[in-house]
Structure 1
Amino acid sequence: MENSGGIQASLAGRYALALFELARDSKQLDSVGKSLATVKEALEQSEDFQALTTSPLVGRDAAAATVKAVGESLKLDSLTRNFLGVLAENRRLAHIGSVIRAFTLLVSNHKGETTAEVTTAHPLDAAQVKALAAQLKSGVGRDVAIELKVDPEILGGLKVKIGSQMIDSSIRTRLNTLAQAMKG
């Protein structure tokens, strides 16, 4: 059984590992990955869906039925829909964000790549993402899967996190550093 740096130690990690092994064995890693990305996007955009996953007031049956309907409307693959049903039945929907992160890490390790969490002030286009991936690959020595986040609060520049390493070239951080230096 693959441990991948302690992922298995957490509850979300155990669920992610189970989903990963099912998807790998049935050769559905890409479709499950795309479905989980859709779920992640839905969680970020829908307060109702987010409330469903975190509310202790929603019963197992209601959560399972709602997750099934959401899975069908989002056109998720059957393995991911069934997996979300299991999370609902076990009252573990609150862990879906952590499960998605752990699954993504497992897939990256399986493909021989590393994952970089990149935060920008504005969305990047496909050419910029490709150039950034090439630049990170030359520094890391492995293929790099980029997980993009947009945070206007950084004003400009990038924040890149690869494993425990953080590269912060955001304008906000530079301004804060300059302000600290001026205070003496």
Structure 2
Amino acid sequence: MDISGGIKASLAGRYAAALFELAEENKQLDAVEGSLAKLKSALADSEEFATLTTSPLVGRSEAIAATQSVSDSLGLDPLTTNFLGTLAENRRLAQLGAAIRAFSTIAAQYRGEANAEVISAHPLTDDQVAALKAKLKSLAGRDVNVDMNVDPSLLGGLVVRMGSRMIDGSLRTKLNTLASAMKG
């Protein structure tokens, strides 16, 4: 499988590529993707877990023990548990979020899909997400996995990042553009 050099060029990308190759080899892609989704959610929802991954004050042995505890409580598959332990052992837990995103990109490439990150001012309904996916599919020419995030500071609208393209239809950006134009 050809993985783009851009992903492998980063530290997180190399970890993600190694995890992907192991998951594919062991036919556990779905299990690993599910576990990584749980980890991503835990990073977003748990300030303690986010601090564990980024704090230089957490020692190697404490990080290993904490990641094992997190793995057990989240019910992660053995491959992802080992991956998390390797990150902790190598003092690379700060790369976890980037490695999850890189894995998602690699998995989407493998399935012939595209990834899009969508940031909205408020949570979108299922119908809105489905319509957005259909529109992005028509732009990309293939199925699109959508990673939804909410940022109330956008005030309204969406920001969509798909590959090297970014579409910023947020109210915040429109107001900033208007303010700049009014300054003359």
Q: Aligning the two structures, in what range does the TM-score lie when normalised by the shorter sequence? A: over 0.9
> Which residue of structure 1 aligns with residue 52 of structure 2?
52
TM-score with structure 2 length normalisation? 0.95
After TM superposition, give the deviation of residue 81 of structure 1 in Å: 0.9
C-alpha separation in 2, matches of 1:5 and 1:91: 24
Letter of the 1:48 counterpart: E
> Which residue of structure 1 aligns with residue 37 of structure 2?
37
> CA-to-partner distance for each residue in 1:1-22, whole Å, 9 max, x for gaps?
6332421111111100000011
In 2, are the aligned partners of 1:118 and 1:160 still within 8 Å (CA)?
A: yes
> Which residue of structure 1 aligns with residue 67 of structure 2?
67
In 1, are the aligned partners of 2:3 and 2:106 still within 8 Å (CA)?
A: no
After TM superposition, give the deviation of residue 173 of structure 1 in Å: 1.1
Identity among equivalent positions (%) equals 62
C-alpha separation in 2, matches of 1:99 and 1:56: 19
1:90 and 2:95 matched: no
> Which residue of structure 2 aligns with residue 138 of structure 1?
138
After TM superposition, give the deviation of residue 180 of structure 1 in Å: 1.9
C-alpha separation in 1, matches of 2:71 and 2:125: 28
C-alpha separation in 1, matches of 2:125 and 2:82: 33
1:100-179 equivalences under 5 Å are: 100-179=100-179
> CA-to-partner distance for each residue in 1:33-81, whole Å, 9 max, x for gaps?
1211111111112121111111222222221111011111011111111
Letter of the 1:77 counterpart: D
> Which residue of structure 2 aligns with residue 99 of structure 1?
99
RMSD (CA atoms): 1.2
Hey, which bits of structure 1, 4+ residues long, moved more than 3 A?
A: none
**Helix, strand or coil at the partner of 1:117:** strand
Letter of the 2:104 counterpart: T
After TM superposition, give the deviation of residue 127 of structure 1 in Å: 2.1
Letter of the 1:142 counterpart: R
Task: Flag structure 2 segments of 5+ consecutive residues without an equivalent.
Answer: none
C-alpha separation in 2, matches of 1:178 and 1:54: 38
C-alpha separation in 2, matches of 1:151 and 1:86: 32
In 2, are the aligned partners of 1:114 and 1:142 still within 8 Å (CA)?
A: yes
